[in-house]
Structure 1
Amino acid sequence: MVTLRQARLAGRRPWRMAAAALVAASVLVTAGCSGDKGDSPSWQGGAGGDGKTASESPSPQPTLSTVAVTSPAADAKDVVASTEIKYDSEDAENTSVEVKDADGAEVTGVLDKDEKVFRPAKALGWGKTYTVTVTGTPSGDKGGSASSTFTVMKKPSKLVRVTSFLGDGQTVGVGMPLIVRFGRSVPAKYRGEVQRRMVVTASPVQEGIWHWVSPTEVHYRPKTYWQAHTKILYKVQLAGVPMGDGWYGRTDMTVDIKTGRALVMTVSNKTKKMTVKQDGKVIKTIPVSLGKKSTPSSSGTMVVIEKKAHTVFDTLAELGPEEGYRTKIDYAQRITWSGQFIHAAPWSEGVQGRANVSHGCVNVSMANGKWLFGRTMLGDPITVSGTGDKLKNGNGWTDWNMSWDEYKKGSAI
């Protein structure tokens, strides 16, 4: 009698036999393709037909990353002193760049691995020869190096003077623009490169941009007024930079300044009052008299350009004896080039806060003039509104008289 278990075992045997036959066939086919001498198949780590252990596969040889100096060209002459060193590498992240002069002194600078550019910290020496070495620092199986030599142009006779209106250590108002002037007009096609080499660093960080006021002057302002007590460092690295028609920048320049407290003045023609805020709080309201109808004050945002505790206003030569005048003035603060000031005017104290009688200036009393003069600084902003005349851009430091979008249009980048 056949049990159920025996029947199941008997039913499995044909499958097992078929599998065994398939394996055997596979071995025979493999043996048939192993060579024309009928050698036994050799497996990695196993024995060959002669019973010896098969040799291991050779380890892959290290490959070297390709590096090259792409600019300046090898043995180049008359290279501009402001040149950047450009290179190529398969592994930029692990590539180093070294630049040395003929005496072996190393050139300091900044290596931008994303753009594959080495930017010297200052202009290279006129007429000097330099050697660049680019090295793919070993990382895994990467490595390799390339060298190149070039010579900087001789010092040119045409050099453009570059100056800053502000000097190291100054403290200015929160509306103060950074002002850089050139001794010669900079053609439009060169302004972008010039602007790239003028770098502003502010702490705390604030968004800002350069704006070309004219071919010989460029300003920088943040999107909104500088924050109070901001530390500002701007580097103007233009030595050796081409500036058109065979002219080159003369020198590099660094200026380190800061802003003081945030003092902001606003004047309303409607109320005939000035509101003075410091760090966001109103600290004084001052009655004023603005320009009469024939000589209106300008409406717009200006900043304090200069301060004179005592001066003389003399318009006789300009306006003649009928309209002109020569008057001693106290506590004068210029806000436009055309001659509008904030100043003490004791002769109009009786109408200040009620009527406009000035020649375009913001008149205040002697006491208020002295108080205000003692608290303001260069670059403090003042906005006048509601008069019959609109401030013309360029009539003073009118950087804040433009919207941010309008101001950005003056950038060359």
Structure 2
Amino acid sequence: MSRIRVLAHARLRAAVVAALLVPLAACSSSTSAGSPATEVTPSPDDRPVTVTVTPAGRKAPAGEPIRVTAAGGSLTSVTVTDAEGHRLAGRVAADGRSWVSDRKAVPGTAYTVTAATRSSGGTARSTRADVTTAAADKVNKVDWRPGAGATVGIAQPISLVFDHPVRNRAEVEKQLRITTSNGTEGSWGWIRDWSGRDRVDWRPRTYWKPGTEVRLNAELNGTDSGAGGGWFVRDYATAFTVGDRQIVKVDLDRHRLSLVRDGRTVRRIPVSGGTPGGDKRSWRGTAVLMAKEGTINMNSETVGLGDAYDKMVDHSMRLTWSGMYAHAAPWNARHLGRANRSSGCIGMSDADAAWFYARVRPGDPFEITGQDTKGVVEPGNGFGAWNLSWTEWQQRSALR
């Protein structure tokens, strides 16, 4: 081949290669100095996911769950933490479009919401939002019994007394969870405490089975009491165990107290109850031993009986808020087992009271009978719920 033809063929190949390279350079995002960049429109499938958090803002309303929704993609995970690092648990819906917290947002709390998302095209991103709830203008608190770790008698209820009125009773009751080691049946009932405050008690259908382990979880944090009662800003919990099956039977007509354990009478004790025919009579029905208070001062003025007595009393065991006790009453020795001559309490000798005091525990039922009494112990006067039938008690639940 001649040199001329070789050169001509080489020039032709170079021209073809140059022609093929021109369109490839036009599709590149690279630019030379001074020339504008080519704008690339993302695929609709790769656009960022729109995340919405409610409630929102710096004074967001409390008392509702935090909700996170996604549009244009899905949520893969959501984390909500407060300023102390406590996590607000929740779950993503099956379709990945929403997340709802298990608990309500608490008043006066700053939350950080972090949502991991995936677009329709598979691109993963993360979105953050800050939410601060408005502070509570009023706080409601709870006094509860029994205390954690206690061993109680078979009639012990779980009792919550509130500082302020509770109007959203159903909402509050939903947050109260009782678990037992043997599936004990029971119910909450709303009553008026002797102090005049709102109160809710949980009692079994029948007396507890000995050995039952009981736990209360009152997840009230973030719940509104309603009608100016204030917000709950903490949770409450207690756990206790039920002890031996002990029943104290008090027969005021026979002036006798019997301690019955597991169906067997352990001891009979002569007693003197409240004086018949007036304000000094005892109560009847089922009272529950509230507390063993030991040696205390008893003053008749505190229970509306004027100056009838003012003395130190040993082995005192409280049965009602209105002032009925079982205790030592040596000053009434000649009436023990013979007549009712006390100011409403159940009195016994020093020796019998010491023996009895050492063997009973809070939560033991006192089943009191007698013809001449003030009447039946009210549900809120101590732990008088046992004087209502099971049906009557169930009807006091706000969820019935």
Q: Same fold (TM over 0.5)?
A: yes
Structure 2 vs 1, CA of residues 117 and 399 (structure 1 numbering), >3 Å: closer, same or farther?
farther
Q: Percent identity?
A: 28
Deviation at 1:120, TM superposition (A): 3.6
For the Cα contact (< 8 Å) 1:127–1:154, is it kept in 2?
Answer: no
**For residue 207 of structure 1, what is the aligned residue in structure 2?**
185
Is the CA contact (8 Å cut-off) linking 2:106 and 2:233 kept in structure 1? Answer: no
Distance 2:311 2:55 in 1: 69
Alignment of 1:104-123 (within 5 A): 107=87, 109=89, 119-120=102-103
Q: Specify the code of the residue in structure 2 equivalent to 1:281.
A: R
From the superposition, tell whether residues 374 and 392 of structure 1 become closer, same or farther in structure 2 (CA, over 3 Å).
closer
Partner of 1:51: none
Q: 1:230 aligns with which of 195, 198, 212?
A: 212
Match of 1:410 in 2: 396
- The Cα offsets for residues 322-344 of structure 1, whole Å up to 9 and x where unpaired, read as xx122332211111222211112
Deviations, residues 133-159 of structure 1 (Å, cap 9, x unaligned): 799xxxxxxxxxxx9978352333322
- Which residue does the alignment assign to 2:275? 292
2:146 maps to which residue? 166
Match of 2:162 among 174, 182, 207: 182
2:257 maps to 274
Match of 1:310 in 2: 295
Cα distance in 1 for partners of 2:292, 2:377 equals 22
Gaps of 5+ in 1: 1-70, 89-94, 136-146
* Conserved? CA contact 1:228–1:279, under 8 Å: no
Aligned partners of 1:320, 1:282: CA distance in 2, in Å? 38
1:143 corresponds to which residue?
Answer: none
2:107–2:134: 8 Å Cα contact kept in structure 1? no
Letter in 1 for 2:64: T
Which deviations, in whole Å up to 9, do the C-alpha atoms of 1:326-385 show, x marking residues without a partner? 233221111122221111222333433332222221122222111110011222110101
Structure whose CA Rg is larger: 1
Q: Which residue of 2 aligns with 1:357?
A: 341
Which residue identity lines up with residue 174 of structure 2 in the other structure?
R
The AA in structure 1 aligned to 2:215 is L
Kindly provide the CA deviation profile for residues 241-300 of structure 1, in whole angstroms up to 9, marking residues without a partner as x: 122246321211222222222221111233332221223332222222222213321111
Number of equivalences: 327
1:234–1:350 CA distance, 2 compared to 1 (3 A): same
Could you state the TM-score of these two structures normalised by the residue count of structure 2?
A: 0.69
1:217 aligned partner: 199
Q: Which blocks of at least 5 consecutive residues in structure 2 are unaligned?
A: 1-51, 70-74, 119-126
Q: Within 2, Cα distance between the matches of 1:278 and 1:122?
A: 49
8 Å contact 1:287–1:364 — kept in the other structure? yes
Q: Summarize the Cα distance change of 1:134–1:303 in structure 2 as closer, same or farther, 3 Å threshold.
A: farther
Indicate the residue corresponding to 2:175 in structure 1: 197
Matched with 2:365 is 381
Query: TM-score, normalization: structure 1?
Result: 0.67
Root-mean-square deviation (Å)? 3.8
**Could you tell which deviates more after superposition, 193-202 or 342-351?**
342-351
Deviation sequence 1:159-200 (CA, Å, 0-9, x none): 22233243322222222221222221112xx11111111111
Amino acid at match of 1:401: N
Q: Cα distance, 1:412 vs. partner?
A: 1.1
Contact 1:72–1:150 under 8 Å retained in 2: no
Contact 1:307 1:331 in 2 (8 A): yes
Equivalent-residue separation in structure 1 for 2:372 and 2:92 (angstroms) = 53
Q: Give the match's secondary structure for 1:349.
A: helix
Partner of 1:5: none
